């Protein structure tokens, strides 16, 4: 069993926070399929975009480990009318990097006449078993 100090987790999650929060060219995309590359997130599967999302400082994770919380979104831009969004992707667009991706808590159909919204959600690293 490995033991890792919170600083180890925080440095990884802190990099995500710093990269996303420090540049207006970073985005959160909602996607139709789980992206595994920057291009899939920003082009292939993209159905909506939120420029400059906010990521909180690393903190304790329920059940052990550390997490960052992505702030709620109420003004996301829909790029594909009638698209189905089931996944999110956080990207460093200036470096063409996919930083994090995962499933949304529930899928949603989005329409260009309305902004998309997301509740705040956490991205975490569990303690080693």
pTM score over 0.95:
no
Q: b vs e for 47-59, b when ≥16 Cβ sit within 10 Å of the residue's Cβ?
A: bbbbeebebeebe
Contact 94, 25 (CB under 8 A): yes
Number of domains in the chain: 1
In a domain, 1, yes or no: no
Q: Which residue has the tokens 């100090």?
A: 5
Q: What is the mean pLDDT of residues 34-45?
A: 97
pLDDT higher at 107 or 11: 107
Q: What is the mean pLDDT of residues 98-112?
A: 95
Query: pLDDT-derived band of residue 18, with 50, 70 and 90 as boundaries?
Result: confident
Q: Provide the residue range defining the domain that includes 42.
A: 6-125
Instruction: Report the alpha-carbon distance of residue 15 to residue 12 in Å, rounded.
Output: 5
DSSP bridge partners of 101: 89
Rg (CA), the chain: 15
């Amino acid at each position: 069993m490995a033991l890792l100090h919170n600083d180890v987790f925080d440095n990884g999650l802190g990099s995500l926070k710093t990269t996303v929060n420090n540049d207006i060219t970073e985005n959160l995309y909602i996607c139709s399929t789980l992206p595994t590359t920057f291009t899939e997130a920003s082009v292939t599967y993209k159905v909506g975009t939120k420029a400059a999302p906010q990521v909180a400082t690393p903190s304790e994770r329920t059940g052990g480990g550390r997490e960052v919380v992505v702030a709620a979104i109420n003004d996301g831009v829909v790029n594909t009318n009638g698209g189905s969004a089931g996944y999110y992707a956080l990207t460093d667009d200036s470096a063409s990097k996919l930083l994090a991706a995962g499933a949304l808590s529930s899928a949603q159909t989005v329409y260009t006449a309305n902004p998309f919204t997301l509740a705040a959600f956490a991205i975490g690293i569990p303690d080693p078993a």
